[in-house]
């Protein structure tokens, strides 16, 4: 017995002619079966493969761009007059929650397709890898999560006659340290150093150099006496014009220089000058005037 397309045979498909000349069983009937128009998903579309909704027909589903199919892509019309399953749904493509390595955090509004997230490192860390990832059509992120590497430059050795202070009370990446010197000393070099990505402090350590005054300016026809110089152990050093011209002596802060004139000359001005904290001698140099 042949069945037309769209019909279902109800009953036995084969009958036999019995000895009495009668057919065995009842004659089957052909019932028309139509599953009706299948449901269309939001953000999607469907295709009736053979332009029919009768038994044996197939429907194929598709989603709009940026959406993926959740459920079966194809359904069939069964002899019960029902489609072989529930219609699928089209959902916006979404990436999984991104991995957040130790020492990092993520900034991003959502994890949907085309959305981007940006990685940042906690203080003291440096980012290794791509800082920005994008959610692709595959539902995967465009790359691996970067690492945030902790960088610590460590504590610094004190410098003679000086001290240092950590401005942020830390020694990790980006930390700053400021140097200062004790009284009677001045800083030579950079006063500030920064912890770099290399794990080293920037620049070289500065030095604290003692503040000293140079040889006082020699006044013509004068005799110069200097006391309080550490290298003379408190003794008075007398300078004349010949000696002063070749001297490279320096003097501690507080050293006292006294001018007096050769015979036949008198002093005009203040005869005493002092080595001050700025490394300069106080006052003006006196003159020796012929009388």
pLDDT, tens digit, 9 for 90 and up, residues 196-222: 999 999 999 999 999 999 989 888 999
CATH number of the domain within which 143 lies:
2.10.70.10
Q: Is residue 51 part of a domain?
A: no
Q: Which two tokens stand for residue 169?
A: 């009370």
> Do 266 and 244 fall into the same domain?
yes
Note if the pTM is more than 0.75: no
**Band (2; pLDDT cuts 50, 70, 90):** very low
> Do 218 and 206 fall into the same domain?
no
Cβ pair 145, 129 in contact under 8 A: yes
Residue 275: pLDDT over 90: yes
Top-confidence range, 20-34, 193-207, 237-251: 193-207
Would you put residue 129 in left (φ > 0), alpha (ψ -120 to 50) or beta? left
Q: Is residue 276 part of a domain?
A: yes
> Do 204 and 216 fall into the same domain?
no
Per 3-state DSSP, the chain is made up of helix, strand and coil in percentages (nearest 5) of 5, 40, 55
Predicted local confidence at residue 240, as pLDDT:
61
161-170: pLDDT as tens digits:
999 999 999 9
Q: Which residues is 72 bridged to in the sheet?
A: none
The fraction of the chain above a pLDDT of 70, given in percent, is: 89
130-164: pLDDT as tens digits:
999 999 999 999 999 999 999 999 999 999 999 99
Burial of residue 216 (CB within 10 Å: 0-12, 13-18, 19+) is buried
> Do 142 and 180 fall into the same domain?
no
- CA-CA distance, 164 to 135, in Å (whole number)? 48
Q: What's the start-to-end Cα distance of the chain, in Å? A: 156
> Do 146 and 186 fall into the same domain?
no
86-134: pLDDT as tens digits:
999 999 999 999 999 999 999 998 999 999 999 999 999 999 999 999 9
* Residue 201 or residue 235, greater confidence: 201
Q: Is residue 2 part of a domain?
A: yes
Predicted local confidence at residue 17, as pLDDT:
80
One-character DSSP codes across 182-240: -TTEEEES-SEEEB-TTSSBSSPPPEEEEPEE-PPPPPTTEEEEEE--GGGTT--EEE-
Q: Is residue 95 part of a domain?
A: no
Q: Is residue 112 part of a domain?
A: yes
Quote the mean pLDDT of the chain.
Answer: 89
Predicted local confidence at residue 115, as pLDDT:
97
Number of domains in the chain: 4
Q: Is residue 277 part of a domain?
A: yes
Q: Is residue 18 part of a domain?
A: yes
**To which H or E segment does residue 241 belong?**
helix 241-245
Q: Is residue 269 part of a domain?
A: yes
> Do 286 and 224 fall into the same domain?
yes
> Do 146 and 167 fall into the same domain?
no
One-character DSSP codes across 57-97: -EEEEEE-TTEEEES-SEEEB-TTSSBSSPPPEEEE-BPPP
- CA-CA distance, 105 to 150, in Å (whole number)? 14
> Do 241 and 273 fall into the same domain?
yes
Q: Largest alpha-carbon pair distance within the chain?
A: 175
- CA-CA distance, 35 to 280, in Å (whole number)? 107
Domain that holds residue 181: 162-210
> Do 242 and 174 fall into the same domain?
no
- CA-CA distance, 109 to 94, in Å (whole number)? 13
Residue 255: pLDDT over 60: yes
The fraction of the chain above a pLDDT of 90, given in percent, is: 69
In the block, residue with structure tokens 């040889």: 215
């Amino acid at each position: 017995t042949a069945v037309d397309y769209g019909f279902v045979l109800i009953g036995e498909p084969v009958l036999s002619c019995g000895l009495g000349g009668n057919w065995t069983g009842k004659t089957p009937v052909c019932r028309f079966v139509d599953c009706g128009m299948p449901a269309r998903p939001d953000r999607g579309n469907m295709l009736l493969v053979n332009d029919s909704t009768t038994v044996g027909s197939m429907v194929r589903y598709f989603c709009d761009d940026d959406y993926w199919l959740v459920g079966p892509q194809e359904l069939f019309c069964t002899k019960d007059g029902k489609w072989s399953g529930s219609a699928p749904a089209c959902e916006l493509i979404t990436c999984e929650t991104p991995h957040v390595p130790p020492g990092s955090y993520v900034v991003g509004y959502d994890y949907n397709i085309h959305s981007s997230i940006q990685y940042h490192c906690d203080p003291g860390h440096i980012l290794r890898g791509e800082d920005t990832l994008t959610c692709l059509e595959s539902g995967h992120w465009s790359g691996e999560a970067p690492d945030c590497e902790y960088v610590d430059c460590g504590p610094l050795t004190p410098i003679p006659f000086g001290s240092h202070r950590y401005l942020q009370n830390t020694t990790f990446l980006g930390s700053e340290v400021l140097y200062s010197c004790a009284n009677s000393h001045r800083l030579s070099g950079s006063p500030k150093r920064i912890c770099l990505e290399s794990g080293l402090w920037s620049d070289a350590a500065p030095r604290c150099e003692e503040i000293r005054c140079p040889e006082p300016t020699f006044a013509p026809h004068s005799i110069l006496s200097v006391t309080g110089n550490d290298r003379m152990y408190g003794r008075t050093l007398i300078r004349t014009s010949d000696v002063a011209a070749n001297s490279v002596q320096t003097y501690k802060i507080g050293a006292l220089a006294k001018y007096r004139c050769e015979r036949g000359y008198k002093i005009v001005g203040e005869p005493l000058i002092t080595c001050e904290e700025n490394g300069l001698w106080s006052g003006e140099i006196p003159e020796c005037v012929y009388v």
